Structure 1
């Protein structure tokens, strides 16, 4: 089966998807819709044989496509999924976050219950090679994860068309837009759902001097989030988006009664200062509790994949798994409920930070089981 993608949105992240799809066997972008002139021209250069469409409806009318990829601004995802459902319900890979507004609950319930084809939500951090190695070994190394810490120190949000990612109303807020990845990892590693979230966050440094035609940017640039899980384990997120000098962008640590495992993930190589030589290589460090003899294992990533995108090869591996699932060789690994929980956890964290109160999931109508 050849994967013939219809692409909705061909901006910065859409172009990363295009470059990675181009590396897959039996896969191509057959058609795309991108309303911005500049981004449309760049995408056309990447896939010159693809049909350029004037709307989502036009794209869905293209017989050449047999699956869909949504890479539009966050606030459009639910609306576009509904349009797809009503016109041509093909298998979909939809970028995170799945939704941005708690008011969309009823619409999401209808989509989940009525969509006849697979929906895969793009939680590509699961597929970064060092993170995947941690996920695979965490329970064995730790004897059962009791504490999970995710630390991201990185650069500010990049410029996007129309500066849509500078405003909470468009993104769902930083703890939804950026951190849904990390909440997904927490839930995936723990193997159960959260019960309570406490958070503190703010916009302290970034984007305050940016001038726009509309409201001033209000996206947060730092936060702490603590999550309690059903199994009694807990997780911590530390986010700082004015720390671009960091050697590693993500540091993830899982600890249990028998030991500790951590992974260190460098940021995009294109941001690494040339005068410092080669960028750092991702690694996983295993620290058994009894022997006190940590072992560090480098996790190199195929240079072609590093060149194709900013996510340590994860975009490629995600598409590879998506293709396997559609060919009947695997399962949908990141489904609708996974995307739902990741966004809902971000919304609960935003609410906690704004109110100063912990949020219990038993008290909110944000989760799939309460639809």
Structure 2
């Protein structure tokens, strides 16, 4: 039995709790949640778990692994405390860090002595996983990758921490690091140049939080050049929740194209429109022409347990297998670092109006920093 300790039981923390409850051989033994309302919800989900007053208190409990689902700006300092006190295996929600000047602190964790898995749920959405598995065969080698997310605005969270760049890391880090992770995963390559245009056009313009207007962006385009010549593009719009599908991913090569269409959270689908959409994967060969559509249904119990098309459950299944020595860590500290750093590069490009060369940045990971851990 893997006994989890959870740091942060807000909206995402509760999704993790519901999915851990579906896992054979895993349970939540203890948790930390300073907000009274969120702690009450956690207690309803975890009547037999112990609520701890602090991270230090949690580390004194009989637990086997830690999940960090606190606000973004707390992830790195909490990892540092854990590394010093009791370096247990970690599943850390994205992003790993929120500002370029924190990169040196992240580098100091490269030799963390236990597994570190960064929570990139989008990898494990069943239609996206199917696309990744079949991409090379359908395309004959990927040359272009496009990711489009048309979704709802940022939800209300405790203290509205997600409304401000200083706490969230900014939209390209907080929201889009998932997509930059997918780019590297699908292309199996690292970026060399990032070009972006983004801003705040519609959402949160009239809000004031403690007298301050939110500065989080709600739309943008990002183009990324990769080392072996492939190109990737992200289109983000966070005032487009009327779309039938929330995420659409397409990869194209000389032989054809394959796409994944992923619906948004089923709880947001209007009941008067009938059943929510079912995810799709469409393979479109050039010769002979003829798109082939396959529906990818997801277990209703997994859809009810979270907002990520069943991905959180499958992520935890793989994490537990890694802890049991049955599989490797699939989303490493280096992967999580790259995803956040690409988001920071995109924000830099959008702010300056200039393309950003990765080689000139001091906050991206270098292979040498991970040589010891990889070996």
Report if TM-score (shorter chain) is over 0.5.
yes
Identify which of 333, 345, 350 aligns with 1:348.
Answer: 345
Q: Give the CA deviation at 1:36.
A: 0.1
Hey, what's the Cα distance between the residues in 2 that align with 1:104 and 1:61?
A: 28
Q: Note the C-alpha offset of 1:34.
A: 0.3
- Cα distance in 2 for partners of 1:47, 1:198 equals 45
CA distance in 1, matches of 2:261, 2:93: 24
- Residues of 1 paired with 2:328 and 2:103: CA distance? 26
Structure 2 partner of 1:61 = 60
> SS in structure 2 opposite 1:20?
helix
Deviations 1:220-256 (A, max 9, x none): 0000000000110000000000001000000100000
Q: TM-score, normalised by structure 2?
A: 0.97
Q: Please tell me whether residue 218 in structure 1 is matched to residue 215 in structure 2.
A: yes
Deviation digits for residues 313-361 of structure 1 (CA, Å, limit 9, x no counterpart):
0000000000000101100000000000000000000000000000101
Q: CA deviation at 1:211?
A: 2.3
Extract unaligned runs of 5+ from structure 1: none
Q: Provide Cα deviations, 1:138-197, integer angstroms capped at 9, x if missing partner.
A: 011100100000000000000000000000011110000000000000000000100000
SS at 1:116's partner residue?
coil
Within 1, Cα distance between the matches of 2:53 and 2:152? 34
1:49 corresponds in structure 2 to 48
Deviations 1:99-132 (A, max 9, x none): 111111111111113x110100000100000000
Query: Which whole-Å CA distance do the structure 2 matches of 1:229 and 1:15 have between them?
Result: 36
Is contact 2:101–2:363 with CA below 8 Å preserved after alignment?
no
CA distance in 1, matches of 2:224, 2:50: 45
| Structure 1: distance between partners of 2:182 and 2:212 | 33
2:98 paired with 1:100: yes
Please tell me the root mean square deviation across aligned C-alpha atoms, in Å: 0.7
Partner of 1:232: 229
1:111 match: secondary structure: coil
The aligned residue for residue 3 of structure 1 is 2
Residue 285 of structure 1: SS of its match in structure 2? strand
Provide the rounded CA distance (Å) in 2 between the counterparts of 1:221 and 1:101: 19
1:215 to partner: Cα distance: 1.9
Which of residues 205, 209, 223 is equivalent to 1:208? 205
- The whole-number CA distance in structure 2 between the counterparts of 1:55 and 1:214 is 30
Partner of 1:70: 68
Match of 1:151 in 2: 148
Counterpart residue number, 1:12: 11
Deviates more, 1:224-233 or 1:210-219: 210-219
CA distance in 2, matches of 1:186, 1:212: 34
Separation in 2, partners of 1:215, 1:51: 36
- Could you tell me how far apart the structure 2 residues matched to 1:326 and 1:368 are? 25
SS in 1 for 2:108: helix
The alignment covers a number of residue pairs equal to 368
Residue 304 of structure 1: aligned partner: 301
C-alpha distance in 1 between matches for 2:82 and 2:354: 38
Q: 2:181 aligns with which of 180, 184, 198?
A: 184
Cα distance, 1:367 vs structure 2:
1.7
Q: Which runs of structure 2 are paired with 1:320-335 in the superposition (5 Å)?
A: 320-335=317-332
Secondary structure of residue in 1 paired with 2:138: helix
**Runs (4+) of structure 1 moved beyond 4 Å?**
none
Report the Cα distance in structure 2 between the residues aligned to 1:74 and 1:181, rounded to whole angstroms: 14
In the TM superposition, 1:280-291 aligns within 5 A as: 280-291=277-288
Q: 1:214: Cα distance to partner?
A: 4.1
The DSSP-based 3-state class of the residue aligned with 2:328 is coil
Q: Quote the residue 2:80 is aligned against.
A: 82
How far did residue 368 of structure 1 move?
1.6
